[in-house]
A = this chain, B = another copy of it.
Amino acid sequence: MQDHSRLQGVRRPGGRTARTRAAVLEAAMAELAEKGYAGTRIEQIAARAGVALSTVYRRWGNLDGLIQDLVNDITVEQPIPDSGALESDLAAVGRIIVGLHRHPVHRPWMDALIMTAIREPGSRLLLSETIQARIRRAAVVVERAVERGEIPADTCADEVIRMLAAPFYYRMYVSGEPVTDDLAGLSAARVMAAVRAGAVRDPGAAPR
């Protein structure tokens, strides 16, 4: 698992630039959680962070650039699991999802983004891009399993990660059932069964 202290926020040691970045990202998370994507203004983030607006524009361009950086910041904190077996790597990816969604700082602004994505195309696009980047990153565990010869070579790596992640989000945002600790292992085992049966192939692959 990731070093839990890194998940407490984006505070970290470093020079003035690093402190500015940390202050702006923290202000962005707070504004997003309070006001949602539509209600968040880059001017208010700069004011809240005590940073010149020109600095924020120069570094991030706009709110979307800032949110991308926020998601990257969380994502790079999480090492990609590499246990040597796909099922335990998938369970570790599942535990990262659980950890983020139980997190007191990250959960509120993620909820805000999911909520506003339902009605705003801009928010929808941003959420899709960030989720797809996270899927791509986690898909490396599947590609390594293909290289090891552990699973069929035509397995669709991105689709394996989507299948793994879907039950967590379904419980969180749709059915409302609790995301229990055992869900990471259960979801990993189910995905493995489908992968071994050749049911998670690239769409272009020939049918069995």
Partner of A175 from the list B115, B132, B186 (CB cut-off 8 Å) is B132
Does A200 interact with chain B (Cβ within 8 Å)?
yes
Given known A-B contacts A163-B190, A167-B166, A197-B193, A119 and B111 have beta carbons under 8 A apart: yes
B-side contacts of A56, CB under 8 Å: none
Asked if residues A165 and B173 are in contact (CB atoms below 8 Å), the reply is no
Q: Is the CB of A177 closer than 8 A to any CB of chain B?
A: yes
A146 within 8 A of B: no
Q: Is A140 an interface residue (CB 8 A)?
A: no
A153: CB under 8 A from chain B? no
Chain B binder among A14-22, A78-86, A123-131: A123-131
A71 at the A/B interface (Cβ < 8 Å)?
no
This protein's copies in its complex: 2
Contact, CB under 8 Å: A176 / B115: no
Instruction: Count A-side interface residues using an 8 Å CB cutoff.
Output: 39
Question: Provided the pairs A166-B169, A170-B169, A190-B200 are in contact, do residues A177 and B115 lie with their beta carbons within 8 angstroms?
Answer: no
Q: With a CB–CB cut-off of 8 A, which chain B residues contact A131? A: 174-176
- The CA-CA distance from A117 to B111 in the complex, in Å, is 10
- Which of B118, B125, B128, B193 interacts with A194 by CB under 8 Å? B193
Partner of A176, one of B127, B193, B196: B127
Q: Which of B135, B173, B189, B197 contacts A169 (CB 8 A)?
A: B173
Chain B residues near A175 (CB, 8 Å)?
Answer: 128, 131-132, 135, 162
Q: Decide: B177 and A128 in contact? CB cutoff 8 A.
A: yes
- Contact A118 B169, beta carbon cutoff 8 Å: no
Task: Report B-chain residues with C-beta under 8 Å of the C-beta of A125.
Answer: 176
Add 16 more A-B contacts to A111-B118, A111-B119 (CB < 8 A): A114-B118, A115-B119, A117-B173, A125-B176, A127-B174, A128-B177, A132-B175, A162-B175, A163-B190, A166-B166, A169-B170, A169-B174, A182-B203, A190-B199, A193-B196, A197-B197
